[in-house]
Chains A and B, each alone.
Chain A
Amino acid sequence: MNAIAFTDVSRSYGNVLAVDGLNLTVETGRTVALLGPNGAGKSTSINMLLGLIRPSGGRIELFGRPPEQAVARGEVGAMLQDGELIPELTVRELVDFVRGLYPEPLDLDAILQMADLTDLAGRRAGKLSGGQSQRVRFALAVAGAPRLLVLDEPTAAMDVESRQRFWAAMRDYAAGGRTVLFATHYLEEADENSDRVIVVARGRVVADGTAAQIKAKAGGHAVRFTLDGQSAAGLDALPGVSAVEVTGGTATLRTADPDATVAALYRGTSLEIRDLRLAGADLEDAFLALTREP
């Protein structure tokens, strides 16, 4: 069964069309990234999915039901972008309260541990840092053991280490066969933490597939190596390569297919390749490539 199904969903604010005929389905048990630049319609889509705003057109179903029903049955948990906590309550009190609203919640201590809050359980929410509050909001989202977990740009206020821990916790949660949908504008996050990436721009799906497929489509990989005095002639004819730059003895090949490019570099040329480095798709380039007007 599909956990999420959007059928021709649109939403406008006045004259602005935020979501424009969105069609997508997410199977139960998948971890899916909703990737797009700011203003792509990610948050609007998520708010519609949670039943907080109504679509102007089209239909949304969660586990075959309208969003409000799925929410009322405790099947959905979410971490929204803006959500302050009650400053006078402690972390434990907040988590325990929200957990009590669901029919079959997780164990309190297990939630605190998963969200790395055990040491902060007695602290009042008003005294938490931005990253700590973010962890509490994650704890509130998973507290009811929802079948569908929705995260809207969850790592926005976190430092690098917190991010890594956060994604580890998310993967733990998803490992139980649960469905996760998260919105992000970081390609790396989508790449590392999902098994499918849906790229949205201007309120539409512009690409849908595994991270590798998306990157290939975006054509944003860079293969670099030390060229020294050797000739760069013919490098632009290698498979997948779209551009070649040589600066300070280093060659940079822009490629849509780094595997094929590197293989051809070794087998098809007589160059002496040293210091080979591969860089992931560049965010800017990827978006420009994917979201360009047709």
Chain B
Amino acid sequence: MPNHIRVEILRMLRNKRYVIFVVAFPVVLYVLFCNIVAGQASSGGGGAAAYLMVSMGAYGALSASIMSTAVPWAQERQAGWLRQLQITPLPGWSIILTKLVSTLLLALPSLALVFVVAMTTQGVSLAPGRWALLFLGMWIGILPFAALGLAVGSLVPPDTAQPAAMIGMFGLAILGGLWFPVDTMPATMQTIAHALPSFSYADIGWNLVSGQAPPLQDVVTTLVWAVVLGAAAVFAYRRATARA
């Protein structure tokens, strides 16, 4: 499996779409948003930069976990690469587990890059322990999105997976308040936002950077989504690889 993971990582790092949209885009957006906020008012300062760091880090990790799963996986299924793997001694569970582990690793660059830029150019500073907790939480917290991407990739052909991944990614990012704070939304939208894993996931980060403990409700919401989407991913994978 380590070799399989290495191969999966290698191919994504060579994929221009991944590098541009997943690794570069969030950090560019982050710098852009910071400048807009700084130009608007002097109120936020370090607080706004830290808040945006979580938002854009979350957006980057979210897009990494959906983009590196749904479309490549749908393509591999359709194009016969999955069959090629199925006729080797590689067990089925290892194929999907490798995808999941690879996705976790592939979310690291965008997350780390946003954090480093926040630290070095926007003056965001936290205690070392809090950085570690934030990084770990925002990393493990992408599990629901990775599961969602894998489920989509198992269920639909690549032509459909592409728009489905886009809608899922932008839908979760915007409705979950990663681009515009949930507080500025109408009441109904806020109710929707609070039920989404993208909000609960980012809210853990927002609380951590403002010096508070993450609310239990956020942790529970994220976990429930991880379990539900994880079950969906396993079900979809079994359906996709079942011997007809």
B-contacting residues of A (Cβ < 8 Å)? 50-54, 71-74, 76-78, 80, 82-86, 88-89, 93, 97-98, 100-103, 124, 137, 140, 144
Q: How far is the CA of A124 from the CA of B14 in the complex (A)?
A: 11
How many A-B pairs fall under 8 Å by CB?
A: 70
Asked if residues B14 and A85 are in contact (CB atoms below 8 Å), the reply is no
Query: Complex Cα distance A100/B97, Å?
Result: 18
Residue numbers in A under 8 Å from B238 (CB-CB) = none
Tell me the nearest residue of chain B to A75, going by C-beta: B89
Whether B129 sits at the interface, judged by CB under 8 Å, is no
Shortest Cβ gap from A153 to chain B (Å): 14
Contacts of B7 in A (CB 8 A): 86, 89, 93, 97
Answer whether residue B3 sits at the interface, using C-beta atoms and an 8 A cutoff: yes
Q: A82 contacts which of B80, B89, B244 (Cβ < 8 Å)? A: B80
Complex CA distance for A174 and B28, rounded to whole angstroms: 57
A98 contacts B86, C-beta separation under 8 Å: no
Alpha-carbon distance between A249 and B90 when the two chains are bound, in angstroms: 64
Taking a contact as CB atoms under 8 Å apart, the answer to whether B87 and A88 are in contact is no
Which residue in B10, B15, B79, B88 is a CB contact (below 8 Å) of A101?
B88
Given contacts A71-B86, A144-B88, 9 further A-B contacts (CB under 8 A): A51-B86, A52-B243, A54-B244, A76-B87, A83-B84, A93-B10, A97-B7, A101-B89, A102-B88
B residues with a Cβ closer than 8 A to A are 3-4, 7, 10-12, 14-15, 76, 79-81, 83-84, 86-91, 243-244
Q: Is the interface of A mostly helix, strand, loop or mixed?
A: loop
* B203 → A minimal CB distance (Å): 36
Please pick, from A72, A88, A144, the residue contacting B11 in the complex, using a CB distance under 8 A: A88
| Residue of B whose beta carbon sits closest to that of A68 | B243
Residues of B within 8 A of A144 (CB): 88-89
A102 close to B89 (CB less than 8 A) = yes
CB-CB under 8 A from B14, the residues of chain A are 88, 124
Does B10 lie within 8 Å of A88, measured CB to CB?
A: yes
Find chain A residues with CB under 8 A from B15 CB.
Answer: 88
